[in-house]
Structure 1
Amino acid sequence: MGVDRIDSYLLHGPSRGAGLGVEDWAAWQAMEQIHESGRARLLGVSNVSLDQLEILCKDAKVKPRFVQNRCFAVSGWDRAVRVFCKTNGIVYQGFSLLTANRGAMASRQLATFAQRHGCSPAQIIFRFAIDVGMIPLTGTTDAQHMQSDLGVLAMQLQADEIEAIECMTG
């Protein structure tokens, strides 16, 4: 890549649905060596369940500094993992907040919140993510969408709106 050091290095998900396999530990230990050499500043993991994250934090020499998980309204917006991250000083990054939640995006309740705030349902979801402690990740390359995404920094949801979104199931 032509660089001596990278800011973050991510294990893109465990090799199995539950627990961590030998391959996962081999990959993490190789990442730890890169981190310890100074070539990677932060280590993180993606697509991880709560039990996998707990195991990793308990047994790894270098703990993950961030978690990047797909967030689904139908499964509580990954609340248990978010709570663990907050408790353990790990940054939670939510991705696919819009595409993984088409039902929530189309809900009457979200449309009402968007109308109340003069914005789009997507902006409501991104603001919600920030309000519950997530860093919302977006993959847009469209300058207008980027500007719209950044517009959520100037708005604020009400506590009852945050709770209602937190409790959405689809």
Structure 2
Amino acid sequence: MEYQKLSNGVEIPMLGFGTYQLKPNEVADAMKGALDAGYRHFDGAHIYGNEVEVGKAYKASSVKREDLFITSKVWNEDQGYDKTLAAFDKTLSELQLDYLDLYLIHWPNEDNFQLSLDTWKALEKIYKDGKARSIGVSNFSEDQLKQVFDMATVKPMVNQIERHPYKVQKELGDFDAANGIINEGYSPIGHGHLILEDPTINKIAKDHNKSAAQVVLRWQIDTGFVVFPKSSNIDHVKSNFDIFDFQLTDDEIKSINALDKDEHLNYD
């Protein structure tokens, strides 16, 4: 595993396992497969509707809690100071945990950004109380981050954004890095059929004797992004983890960067 250090010194694994769209009845097998394959970083959220099952999977594992890095997020409807604190406590209860490694604001409130700023104040309290080892945001723009900076006593440590070869996010990624914020990329291989058939990526894959998905995940990490692909297919779960025995050249990274279409595959 490779790691980055957050601004407060906490180490975050560069590769994790995503729990988005995992149905409750899929969680146990998928999580066991991921843990057995070596994953120790798990990205979740209350809105995914599976935190109870995810919590049971942690409990069923023999992996020590201190060896895991666990993320969750506060959903839009739970934003606001008091509601966020209550939502966090519910997430801890459902996951059967005493603390999280990272807690994020899932989306900025576009209609009332003050609500998101109040939510950030709640995250600061959670952090200062030792209930989350780190805090951050997701889907925040440069302008929105600046508004958080203006009122924060603790700056966001992470910004989780959509990121894949067709949405490279160079400007926002550079802004985050310049401000001590670690970038996380969701949908890291896009939606398979769109990106994994790309001729440029497949040529690089052939040169390294790797799959297209492995190349894209390696590109993410080589460019500084923490990623967490999701799959309920155990073979894919294992294959996605097998990316630490090669690196891309500068030219290969540039050729993948050049595929950028500024194309959202998710909500903009």
SS at match of 1:67: strand
The reply on whether 1:7 has 2:98 as its aligned counterpart is no
Contact 2:214 2:239 in 1 (8 A): yes
Per the alignment, residue 125 of structure 2 pairs with 33
How far apart are residue 70 of structure 1 and its match?
A: 0.9
More helix by share: 1
Per the alignment, residue 154 of structure 2 pairs with 62
How far apart are residue 45 of structure 1 and its match?
A: 0.6
Percentage of identical aligned residues: 29
Check 1:102–1:23 CA distance in 2 against 1; reply closer, same or farther (3 A cut): farther
Contact 1:73 1:101 in 2 (8 A): no
Check 1:81–1:120 CA distance in 2 against 1; reply closer, same or farther (3 A cut): same
1:74-113 aligned at under 5 Å gives the runs 74-75=166-167, 77-100=168-191, 102-113=193-204
SS at match of 2:161: strand
Q: Which moved more, 1:37-46 or 1:96-105?
A: 96-105
SS at match of 2:160: strand
Amino acid at match of 2:146: E
Counterparts of 1:3 and 1:96 in 2: how far apart (Å)? 27
Contact 2:231 2:237 in 1 (8 A): yes
Q: What are the superposed Cα offsets for residues 46-100 of structure 1, whole Å, 9 maximum, x if unpaired?
A: 111222223223431211111111114344x111122122222221111102235
Contact 2:165 2:216 in 1 (8 A): no
Give 5+ residue unaligned stretches, structure 1: none
Q: Runs of 4 or more off by more than 3 Å in structure 1?
A: 72-75, 100-104
Amino acid at match of 2:241: L
Counterparts of 1:53 and 1:80 in 2: how far apart (Å)? 13
SS at match of 2:133: strand
Counterparts of 1:141 and 1:102 in 2: how far apart (Å)? 17
Per the alignment, residue 42 of structure 1 pairs with 134
Check 1:92–1:111 CA distance in 2 against 1; reply closer, same or farther (3 A cut): same
Contact 1:104 1:168 in 2 (8 A): no
SS at match of 2:102: strand
Counterparts of 1:74 and 1:150 in 2: how far apart (Å)? 22
Counterparts of 1:118 and 1:158 in 2: how far apart (Å)? 14
How far apart are residue 163 of structure 1 and its match?
A: 0.5
Per the alignment, residue 160 of structure 1 pairs with 251
SS at match of 2:136: strand
- One of 93, 101, 116 as aligned partner of 2:207: 116
Counterparts of 1:140 and 1:44 in 2: how far apart (Å)? 25
Per the alignment, residue 51 of structure 1 pairs with 143
Counterparts of 1:60 and 1:86 in 2: how far apart (Å)? 18
- One of 110, 135, 157 as aligned partner of 2:226: 135
Give the RMSD, CA atoms, in angstroms.
2.0
